[in-house]
Structure 1
Amino acid sequence: MLDLSPFRLSRLACTSLLLPAALTLASAQTVPPRPLPSLAEAAAPTGGTSLREALDAAWALSPAARSADSRRAQLQARERAASSWINGSPSAVLAHRSDRFNSNGGLREYEAELELPIWSPGVRGATQRELAALRLGFEPQQQVARLKLAADVREAAVSVAVARTERDLAQRKHSEAQTLAQDVERRVKAGDSARVDGLQAQSLVQQAASGREQAQQALARLQNQWLALTGMAAVPSLDEPLPSANPVMGPDHPALQAAQSRVQAAQASLELSETDKRDPMSVGVGVTRERSAFGAASETSLRLAIKIPFGTDSRNAPRIAAARAELDAAQAELDAAQRQIQTELASALAELDAARRTQASMAERARLSSEVQGLVAKSYRLGESDLPTRLRADSEKFEADLSLARARVGLQRAISQLNQALGLLP
């Protein structure tokens, strides 16, 4: 006969109220919870891939890398053109003159001329200096693009690692829910628990299975995004080294070098605009063959010509003003880059200090909760503690382990953000 004494009913009520918390834990007869995987373990590579290899693979797929050779060839072609002694493409002029449509007295004239544009004084040197500044600034701009891509690669690797940790936690929760449901079912058969407890435990097993599938789908989505970014299936471990103590912004920061190169290119462009105040001059060499009338001898003459365009304010003022505006914008971008780098570095250092303190605090919490859980488990086996006390200790141990795993994620992400702020590639 079912025991309905007040003491028995109070035990059943406590057990029913504590079942939701117990489903995330091991029961009194289950094995102790496994420690949560660290971030490096959750993102363990399948083929020894490193972050540098992943960045190289992503860079090979990027538009900036695929167009780099063509852009270098473009600059080299412009430099070769600037080293030539003519300023542009030669042009040929062919002309014919006759009087056959009016008097038709036999006048015939043929003229051929070759026109060559030449550099104005100082223009070729200014053009060469502008192209040299553009060529020197090309590589820093490539480094900035590579650094931005490194931020995406780092963040994608962290996201996959977090998703793997959550997937492992969901699998662990489902396994423990199954174990607890089996234990509750045995208690129901033995008459120690109500049938409603067994049904609720089975329902929460299905809920844990649904959470596991959602975590698996989230991981698959992030892995597909990683594959699209890098073209690699393996996700590397996040083992970036910690920078030296008291890191500071160096002059070799890619963003700073790129901003400085833009200022130099803008200065060279302004110098060219102030030097090139008129269209290119041109020199013409022509040959004329003429016959004055029927029966007259043909005469051949050589013609030399030079064309000197005049510069006007309507041509020069807009170009010089635009060049000055570009220089002002480049200098403002340099100042903004310096402020941004300093701000990002200060924020990264503060986040790293906070992440270190958080990890230390969570590690101490995990140690204390582990000791408490061990003592409570021992007293429960000896009959000195009840089941609610054991479940509270197990719940605290689980929450402490989860907080420690999140703190490890935060510390590794803080290290990556500090390296990013310093302009360091993986």
Structure 2
Amino acid sequence: MFLSFPRPRQAVLFGMFALACSVWAQPQPTLREAVEAAWELSPQARSLLSRQAELNARARAAGAFLAGPPALSLSHRAGRGQASGARETEAEISAPLWQPRLRTATNFQIDADRQLLATQIDATKLKLAAEARELAAAVALAQVERDAAERKLAEAAALAADVERRVRAGDTARIDLLRAQGAVREAEAMRVVAEGALARAMSSWQGLTGLGQVAALPEAPVPATTHPLVSAAEAQWNAARAGLRVADADRRDPMEVGVGIVRERPGPGAADENAIQVSLRIPFGGDIRNGARIAAARAELDAAEAELDAARRLVEADRQAANAELAAAQRAHQLALERERLAREAQELVATSHRLGESDLPTRLRADAERFEAELARAKAALEARRAITRLNQSNGSVQ
């Protein structure tokens, strides 16, 4: 029994074919799914999600009865000289208490920070969506150029075969065969360059999302909604306002209440006397302690308000620019369709004339090149129209 093994070249080709089949067999993800995949891989996800644990810890601290951890204090005094034999020992546990308005203000700030975190996550995902859109468009453009190069190569090879038959039949000169073969080599080089560009674009896409398939570009715009960047700016303003509320409520150190035991011996031979003491420490506040904090909180609130106004202006300007870009791209697509129609009709006439021997090969090659350029321009224009749609969706705050 003899076992046959594939040749190295055949094995490599078979492996590449199997890998391609496995990749293209995967379902094409939506843009939202691609954004979620990119979010799982992004370092921003870890840093933002780790803040959730911080907010949970702050919420637990704000929900506690005490404003901070308790403290234990011990003291011992012993007499000397005439008071020799007298001694006193104290042990006290004290704990800070919440100020009347500070706990409410702290809970309000925690809720504002939670909302801020949620909007920051949405804004970060929208930025990832912008990167994913551009990479998906780059892959689609590379695929268009690769497919066009393959069609050009097939047409050039068919023309070269026809010219070779004519040369053998003595109907045309050998220089025409050389020109046709040169066109084939040009098409092969174009395909190699297009395949390299496609591989590079796919690598960038996989580096961002980790997906083997590229999300399709949308064909229709989605309605405008509240933009995540505006929502994040509004949440930042609310958080700054909550911070000012905390600074205004925290005008003094927390009160402290303590409970202790005192054991005292008045003198030598005297019995120990025990007592329980309760202490209350009430610090006084003032502008010296909290004036700088309130001023800083007000400055932060003013900055957040300015950023909110700027975010609204930028989002509206970006939305208007995206609408104008979409209108221009759609108009360019219509013009490219008309150009393709004219170039195709002209090429068909020249091809018929060349088959009948009424025109030479250079004229045929020029007509083929013009048709190829028109077809490629039409495909690129269609892609640019879809890219303009996805940019409009981006300006509307959508990850679809």
Residues 129-178 of structure 1: per-residue CA shift (max 9 Å, x gap): 21222122222221111111111111111111112222223334444444
Q: CA RMSD in A?
A: 2.7
> Matched residue of 2:88: which SS?
strand
Q: Given the superposition, is the C-alpha separation of residues 395 and 200 from structure 1 closer, same or farther in structure 2, using an over 3 Å criterion?
A: closer
- What does residue 52 of structure 2 align with? 72
Alpha carbons 2:126, 2:394 under 8 Å: kept: yes
Select 2:64's aligned residue among 84, 88, 93.
84
Select 2:31's aligned residue among 51, 56, 80.
51
> Matched residue of 1:87: which SS?
coil
* Residue 281, structure 1, aligned to residue 255, structure 2: yes
Q: Given the superposition, is the C-alpha separation of residues 405 and 223 from structure 1 closer, same or farther in structure 2, using an over 3 Å criterion?
A: same
Q: Given the superposition, is the C-alpha separation of residues 181 and 70 from structure 1 closer, same or farther in structure 2, using an over 3 Å criterion?
A: same
CA distance in 2, matches of 1:301, 1:57: 67
- What does residue 317 of structure 2 align with? 343
**What is the Cα deviation at residue 180 of structure 1?**
4.6
* Residue 413, structure 1, aligned to residue 387, structure 2: yes
- What does residue 103 of structure 2 align with? 124
Alpha carbons 2:240, 2:304 under 8 Å: kept: yes
Q: Given the superposition, is the C-alpha separation of residues 383 and 211 from structure 1 closer, same or farther in structure 2, using an over 3 Å criterion?
A: closer
- What does residue 369 of structure 2 align with? 395
Letter aligned with residue 278 of structure 1: R
> Matched residue of 1:283: which SS?
strand
Residues 177-218 of structure 1: per-residue CA shift (max 9 Å, x gap): 4445555555565663346x6566656655544443333222
Greater share of residues in helix: 2
Alpha carbons 1:58, 1:229 under 8 Å: kept: yes
* Residue 377, structure 1, aligned to residue 351, structure 2: yes
CA distance in 2, matches of 1:178, 1:96: 104
Structure 1 residues without counterparts, runs of 5 or longer: 1-42
**What is the Cα deviation at residue 103 of structure 1?**
7.0
Residues 39-63 of structure 1: per-residue CA shift (max 9 Å, x gap): xxxx988423222222221222223
CA distance in 2, matches of 1:396, 1:205: 16
- What does residue 91 of structure 2 align with? 112
Q: Given the superposition, is the C-alpha separation of residues 118 and 89 from structure 1 closer, same or farther in structure 2, using an over 3 Å criterion?
A: same
CA distance in 2, matches of 1:161, 1:298: 91
Select 2:241's aligned residue among 267, 272, 279.
267
CA distance in 2, matches of 1:213, 1:385: 31
Structure 2 residues without counterparts, runs of 5 or longer: 1-22
Query: What TM-score do you get using the length of structure 1 for normalisation?
Result: 0.80
Alpha carbons 1:134, 1:265 under 8 Å: kept: yes
Q: Given the superposition, is the C-alpha separation of residues 176 and 370 from structure 1 closer, same or farther in structure 2, using an over 3 Å criterion?
A: closer
- Out of 365-374 and 173-182, give the one that drifted further: 173-182
Query: What TM-score do you get using the length of structure 2 for normalisation?
Result: 0.85
- Report % sequence identity: 49
Select 1:97's aligned residue among 59, 64, 77.
77
* Residue 144, structure 1, aligned to residue 123, structure 2: yes
